[in-house]
Amino acid sequence: MKFPSSAVFLFVAAGASSLMLAATASAAGKWVIPVDEGTGSTEFVAVGNPTAIRIRGTAERPKGKLTIDGASVSGTITVPVASFDSGLALRNQHMKQKYMEVDKYPDVAFSLTSLGSLDKVTESKDFSSEVPFDGKLKIHGVEKGVQGKAKVARKGDSVSVAAAMKINIRDFNIEVPTFAGVTVTNDVDIKVEFTAPMRAQ
Amino acid sequence: MKTKILFSVVGTLLLSATAHAFPEMVRHGYAACVTCHVSPDGGGVLTWYGREISGAALSTWGGREKSYWGPEQKEHHETFFAWDLITPPEWLLLGGDVRLNRIQYRTQDGGSASRLILMQADLEAAAKFKKLTIDATIGRDENAREIFSRRHFLKYQLNNRTTVRFGKFFHAYGIRMPEHAVSTKRGLGWDQGSESYNIEGALVDSNYDVFLTALLSRPETKGQNGMVFGEDESGFSARASTFLAEKYKIGASFFTGSTKSTDKTILGPFAMLGFTPHFTVLSEFDFTNLKLKSVTKDPGWGLVSFNKADYELIQGLHAFATYETYRPAFSDSTSGVNTLGAGLQWFPRPHFELQTVWKNDKPVGATEGSHYFFLMAHFYP
Q: What is the pLDDT of residue A169?
A: 95
Identity of the residue in B30, B52, B67 whose CB atom sits nearest the CB atom of A180: B52
Q: What is the pLDDT of residue A135?
A: 94
Query: How do residues A10-44 score in pLDDT, each as one tens digit?
Result: 444 445 444 444 444 445 678 999 999 999 999 99
Q: Is the C-alpha dihedral spanning A109, A113, A118, A122 positive or negative?
A: positive
**Domain extent for B113:** 2-379
From B318's Cα to the closest Cα of chain A, the distance in A is: 17
B284, β-bridge pairs: B270, B306
B126 touches chain A (CB under 8 A): no
Q: Which residue of A has its CA nearest to B56?
A: A90
What parts of chain A have a pLDDT lower than 50?
1-3, 7-14, 16-26
Supply the ipTM of this predicted assembly.
0.71
Q: What is the pLDDT of residue B224?
A: 55
Question: Which residues of chain A have a CB within 8 Å of the CB of B48?
Answer: 180-181
B56: domain CATH number?
A: 2.40.160.10
Using the beta-carbon criterion (under 8 Å), do B209 and A52 form an inter-chain contact? yes
Q: What is the pLDDT of residue B11?
A: 41
Q: What is the pLDDT of residue B223?
A: 59
From A154's Cα to the closest Cα of chain B, the distance in A is: 28
Using the beta-carbon criterion (under 8 Å), do A53 and B52 form an inter-chain contact? no
Residues 6+ apart with CB under 8 A from A9: none
Question: Which residues of chain A have a CB within 8 Å of the CB of B52?
Answer: 90, 179-180
Domains of chain A, earliest start first? 29-200 (2.40.128.110)
If one counts the domains in chain B, the total is: 1
Q: Which of residues 65-104 of A touch B (CB under 8 A)?
A: 87-91, 93-94, 97-98
Task: List per-block mean pLDDT (blocks of 10 residues) for chain B, which spans 381 residues.
Answer: 42 40 88 91 90 88 58 62 86 92 74 82 94 95 84 95 96 91 88 90 94 92 61 94 92 95 95 96 96 88 97 96 95 91 95 93 86 90 90
B249 touches chain A (CB under 8 A): no
Question: Which residues of chain A have a CB within 8 Å of the CB of B30?
Answer: 53
Query: How do residues A121-133 score in pLDDT, each as one tens digit?
Result: 888 889 999 999 9
Total Cβ atoms within 10 A of residue B91: 11
C-alpha distances out from residue B148 to A83, B221, B329, Å:
51, 11, 35
Question: Which residues of chain B have a CB within 8 Å of the CB of A185?
Answer: none
Using the beta-carbon criterion (under 8 Å), do A94 and B69 form an inter-chain contact? yes
Q: Which of residues 98-137 of A touch B (CB under 8 A)?
A: 98
State the best of A88, A102, A175 to mutate against chain B, taking most chain B CBs within 10 Å. A88
Give DSSP secondary structure letters for B126-170.
Answer: EEEETTEEEEEEEEEETTTTEEE-S-EEEEEE-SSSEEEEEEEEP
Question: Which residues of chain A have a CB within 8 Å of the CB of B34?
Answer: 51-52
From A98's Cα to the closest Cα of chain B, the distance in A is: 8
Q: What is the pLDDT of residue B76?
A: 57
HSE value, Cβ hemisphere, 13 Å, CA-based, for A190: 23
Q: Which residue of B has its CA nearest to A96?
A: B67
Question: Which residues of chain B have a CB within 8 Å of the CB of A46?
Answer: none
